[in-house]
Amino acid sequence: MQAGSDAAPNITAENSRLSIQTDAPYAWVYSIYGLQEYGDVRLDAKFVNNALSPASAALICRYSETDGWLEYNVTSDGSYNLLYGKWLASGVADYLPIVDGVSNTVPQSGMELQIGLLCSGTTASLLINDTVIRNADVSRFELASGRVGLAASSYENTPVIVSYDWFKVSEP
């Protein structure tokens, strides 16, 4: 799925890495695991953001086509956010910011980073390198379960290439 442009993203799996490339500005490319739904879940991923300009890598929990999802984005400029996303129409999503901040532990583009998202009960915990950096109350969105996934997004500068080394789903 992609929002922001009609240009097709380039998604490849080489050398045990999933690479997502978009050449369109302001594009969000989602990869959702559709075979199972999870309630309380922990997601972890290791990735490299190969963009020379700000771009985001994300983890997604409790994804539902109709009810929305929680999305944890980490941007190459050190900022992060947790969003509630919901489809308004095919390819058109609305995002409500839940929390945002800046972390000095986010490396520059081209360096590996491990992020995690723990969705447990009415709390979402954001992790960088196995350390919780923020907890957020997500009770108002009433998302008890859903699918999981990952994403990459561009801003004004392209191309954006985010390469995921691994993605892990586990019980909290």
pLDDT at 50: 79
pLDDT at 52: 67
**CA 99, 87, 48, 38 torsion: positive or negative?**
positive
Please state the pTM of the whole predicted model: 0.91
How many CA within 13 A on the CB side of residue 80? Answer: 26
Q: Domains in the chain, ordered, with CATH? A: 14-170 (2.60.120.560)
Task: For residue 151, give both structure tokens.
Answer: 């994403």
| Residues ≥6 apart with Cβ < 8 Å to 35 | none
pLDDT at 2: 53
pLDDT tens per residue, the chain (172 residues)?
A: 555 556 778 888 888 888 888 888 888 888 999 889 999 999 999 998 877 677 899 999 999 999 999 999 998 888 999 999 999 988 788 999 999 999 888 766 667 889 999 999 999 999 999 999 999 999 999 999 999 999 999 888 888 889 999 999 999 8
Number of C-beta neighbours around residue 87 at 10 A: 17
